[in-house]
Amino acid sequence: MTKLKLSGVSKAYGATLALRRGDLELDSGEVHVLIGANGSGKSTLCKIVAGSVRPDAGEVLLDGRAVTVSGPRAAQALGIGIFYQELSLADHRSVAENICLPDLPRQNGLFIDRTALRAEAERYIALFETVAGAALQADTIVGDLRADQRQLVEIMKALATEAPILIFDEPTSALDRAQVDRFFEILRDLKSKGRSIVFISHRMDEIFAIGDRVTVIRDGETVGTTTISETSPDAVIHMMVGEQETLATPQAAPPIHAPSTDIALKVEGLTGAGFHEVSFAVGRGEILGLGGLHGQGQSAILKALFGAVAPRSGEVKLAGERLRIDSPRSAIAQGLAYVSGDRGRDGVISGRPILENVTPIHALRNRLLLARPGRLAEKALPALKALNTKFAGLSHSIGSLSGGNQQKIVIARWLIDKPDILLLDDPTKGIDLSAKADLFALIRELAAEGLAIVLYSSEDAELLNNADRILVFNGGSVSRELSGAERTRYNLYQAAYEAA
């Protein structure tokens, strides 16, 4: 039975046509996957359904009747709940307040019913109890949580609407495998209760694991819908890219470098908040992968190496010399680069033009006193092109870009002046399949030029396909090192789940 039907929905932002012709048919009791390249219009379509964007044209039918969704509040009243790709959380409020924010329980009409609030929030927190980590409690301040935990809170917030139609716009981009598995269990349960679910992800395996049907969007237009069981990843990719069938398939394993003798970065007994006694070395031209479940210290180490959080003890040597890491500023000056997948917090300079977002590192490293937009644009454009970034103009605000394209801007920043060490902290969050392939091709190229690269990824395939060596983290320290033929999905999985 068709629950929700969109036909010919469109939306333009000035000259940018975000959605040309969006069609979607959502049945009761199904998980309907939306897939498409970065900037193809998926989020726009979701926001239209959720009422936070008004469509220019087109029709929305709910239970067969035409409706106008005049705002997020109206959408909630119509029974539509949504997970926003860029999250809709209030950083200074508690987890419980965030989960219940759309409809805070009241007592005596005026006051917040704290007991009911807590009880309500705890119902949803309990759903993820086993995978969320100890810090995620009802009264934790959301700003203190890790990226994946905040994403879980946004999921809980969407679930708490108890809406018959639930939209999840890239809910899994920062989640690890255990968290995704738990989330999928919940989705299956909701599905069996007849709820309709829209699910967006750039991870092909997830789509085939959870989806019933898939609708492909290309350049703002719905290309078609097929049943998952009757299609294959290849066929979906073909629909996504259309004529330009140049999508590089990730190679099974990269050429294995002989362990480089030319050590670029050496870490000895590094201890800090979230990790202890970690030692490793990365050679020039090597891609070192960090694996394991979320929050086992991988991100914390990368942040410490970049000087964003001070480590407690231990030593870091850069090309044999002891590195003084006290601030990102000095780390950058000494040739380090850091890309965070948590772009909202660590990457994007929000509200500022694209040009300003691409060039700050260039300006810092070259001590530019005056910004000459023409000159800067000459530097910025090749970097943006290398990542196939889709944007209307350098002077447009970064907020006008799709999530994945924003992430490309954050990466492009480091490509203007090449660093010596590249620290990648789940860098592909929100980036589509073909761009991901391009990005990793580029990363390998950089490695071939002699850069030392440390890559943390929450997606196993990325590590297996790209890292020369993988350090598996468990409970804040390295539990296993996988190199050469040991780099298999099985070994990775096993090492990650091993009791520490």
Partner 1 sequence: MTTNASLTAHDSGLRRLLGRFPFLPALFILAVLLILNGIFEPNSLSFRSLTGLVRTYMALMLLAVAQTYVVYAADIDLSVGAIASLVNVTIIVLMQHMGGGGLSVLAALGVGVLVGLACGLVNGFVVAALRLQAIVATFATSIFFTGLALVILPVAGMPAPTVFWRTYGGSFFGIPFVFYAAATLAILLYLLARTRLATQLLAVGDGQQAAFQSGLPVTAIRIGGYALCGVFAALAAFCITGDTASGDPLVGAKMTLFSVAAVVLGGSALSGGFGTVAGSVIAALIIGLINSLVFFAGTPSHWQNFVQGLAILAALMVGVLVSRRGRA
Ligand X SMILES: Nc1ncnc2c1ncn2[C@@H]1O[C@H](COP(=O)(O)OP(=O)(O)OP(=O)(O)O)[C@@H](O)[C@H]1O
Contact residues for ligand X, defined by CB under 6 A: 13, 16, 18, 36, 38-44, 85, 390, 400-405, 430, 432
Rounded-to-integer distance, Cα 37 and Cα 41, Å: 9
Q: Closest residue (Cβ) to Mg ion?
A: 43
Binding partner of 102, given ligand X, partner 1, Mg ion, none, CB within 5-8 angstroms per partner class: partner 1
Q: Which among 31, 36, 34 is positioned nearest to 405, based on CA atoms?
A: 36
Cα Rg of the chain, angstroms: 23
Sole window of 99-107, 236-244, 402-410, 419-427 interacting with partner 1 (rule: CB under 8 A): 99-107
111 binds partner 1 (CB under 8 A): yes
| DSSP string covering 467-478 | -SEEEEEETTEE
**Which amino acid appears at position 496 of this protein?**
A
Contacts to Mg ion by CB under 5 A:
43, 85, 403
For residue 278, the cross-strand partners are 270
From residue 284 to residue 323, the character string flagging contacts with partner 1 as x (rule: CB under 8 A) and all else as - is ----------------------------xx----------
Sole window of 79-87, 199-207, 403-411, 487-495 interacting with partner 1 (rule: CB under 8 A): 79-87
Where are the strands (E) in 94-158, listed by range? Answer: 106-107, 111-112
In whole angstroms, the minimum distance from the beta carbon of 121 to ligand X comes to: 28
Binding partner of 84, given Mg ion, ligand X, partner 1, none, CB within 5-8 angstroms per partner class: partner 1
Q: Which among 30, 34, 29, 31 is positioned nearest to 45, based on CA atoms?
A: 34
Binding partner of 79, given Mg ion, partner 1, ligand X, none, CB within 5-8 angstroms per partner class: none
- Cβ proximity to Mg ion: between 200 and 437 the closer is 200
Q: Which among 339, 325, 462, 402 is positioned nearest to 40, based on CA atoms?
A: 402
Sheet containing 65-66: order of strands: 65-66, 57-62, 2-13, 16-27, 221-227, 213-218, 31-35, 196-200, 165-169, 80-83
**Token pair for 119:** 């009880």
349 binds partner 1 (CB under 8 A): no
Given candidates 17, 28, 67, 102, which one binds partner 1 under the rule CB under 8 A? 102
In whole angstroms, the minimum distance from the beta carbon of 408 to ligand X comes to: 9
Binding partner of 329, given Mg ion, partner 1, ligand X, none, CB within 5-8 angstroms per partner class: none
Q: Which among 47, 44, 156, 34 is positioned nearest to 94, based on CA atoms?
A: 156
461 binds partner 1 (CB under 8 A): no
Q: Which among 423, 389, 394, 382 is positioned nearest to 409, based on CA atoms?
A: 389
Burial 441-455 (b: 16+ CB within 10 A, else e): eebbebbeeebbbbb
Sole window of 37-45, 101-109, 216-224, 364-372 interacting with partner 1 (rule: CB under 8 A): 101-109
Binding partner of 36, given partner 1, Mg ion, ligand X, none, CB within 5-8 angstroms per partner class: ligand X
C-alpha count within 13 angstroms, C-beta hemisphere, residue 92: 0
361 binds partner 1 (CB under 8 A): no
Residue ranges in contact with partner 1 by CB under 8 A:
50, 52, 71-73, 75-76, 82, 84, 87-93, 97, 101-104, 106, 110-112, 114, 141, 157, 273, 312-313
